[in-house]
Amino acid sequence: MESGQILLLLTAWAVAQWPIIVYPDIDLDTAAAPAATLTFVLATLPLGMGLVLSSLWLLFAVFQKDASYGVAPPRLVG
């Protein structure tokens, strides 16, 4: 609940500042990267996300296996 309120607060703050990022000098258009850079980032983003997400899936799949496999159960005393 609190995280949603923080998200709404930050969103409202960003909308109130639009389009000025750093008052009074930098607006959104002057802070943007060149079009070629933005195109390259958007083109390579799916490949990078596929690599990272598949690596995370493999990491969690390996380390969430049953750790007791092949281990003898403990003996009860008494």
The per-residue pLDDT for range 60-78, each reduced to its tens digit, is 988 886 666 666 667 777 6
- 50 or 2, greater pLDDT: 50
Residue 7: per-residue pLDDT: 95
For residue 41, the number of C-alpha atoms closer than 13 Å in the C-beta half-sphere is 7
Q: What is the pTM of this model?
A: 0.51
The per-residue pLDDT for 21 is: 74
